[in-house]
Structure 1
Amino acid sequence: MNKYDKMNIIREDFINCQDVLIAIGDETRQSILFVLMETDCKTGLRVGEITERTHLSRPAISHHLKILRDAGVILMRKEGTKNFYYINVRTKLSLLKDLVTNIEDLMTDYY
């Protein structure tokens, strides 16, 4: 594959990752992700539990969770009337891995 083809793949990768990059680029959302990483991904946490660990307001947590959810970075599962949030490790975050891998491949060809 030539450099032009690799660059086109990387352009597509950036487009596919744009919402994820925006979502995880915010420090507040990063702190929420760290809290979620400290837990069992299968169980997840409720908004109140995230609020206690981040010292942010419930409305702020809910706002940031929506952005992370819309980007596909986290998922929510319902248990009765309770919502549990956890990191989505299988889909969107793997796109970031592909992006970085493709950039590394291109750069090692030329440096």
Structure 2
Amino acid sequence: MNKQDQLNRIKEDFIHSQKVLQAIGDETRQSILLVLMGTECQTGLRVGEITEQTHLSRPAVSHHLKILREAGVILMRKEGTMNFYYINIRTKIGLLKNLVSDIDKFLEDFY
């Protein structure tokens, strides 16, 4: 693959990763992600539990969870009237792996 083809691939990676990058670029959302990653609970956390650990207001946590869900970074599971949030490790985060891998390969090949 020549240099221009690699650059085009990286450009496409950026386009596909844009929502994820915007979602995880916010410091508040990063703290929510860290809480979700740090939990021992495999079933996810409720908004109240995230609120306790981040010291954010409930509306703020809900707002940021919505952005993370829309970007595909986290998923929600309903259990009766309760919603549980957890990291979506299989899909959208993988886009970032591809982006970093393609950039790394480009830099190895041309610099």
Q: TM-score range by the shorter chain?
A: over 0.9
Aligned runs of 1:21-60 on 2, under 5 Å?
A: 21-40=21-40, 42-60=42-60
State yes or no: 1:106 paired with 2:106.
Answer: yes
Between the aligned partners of 2:40 and 2:75, the Cα distance in structure 1 is 13
| Counterpart residue identity of residue 90, structure 2 | R
**RMSD value, Cα:** 0.9
The unaligned stretches of length 5 or more in structure 2 are: none
Residue correspondences, number: 111
TM-score (norm 2): 0.97
| Counterpart residue identity of residue 90, structure 1 | R
Deviations 1:33-72 (A, max 9, x none): 0000012463100000000000000000000000000000
State yes or no: 1:2 paired with 2:19.
Answer: no
Identity among equivalent pairs (%):
74
> Where does structure 1 differ by over 3 angstroms across 4 or more consecutive aligned residues?
none
The unaligned stretches of length 5 or more in structure 1 are: none
TM-score (norm 1): 0.97
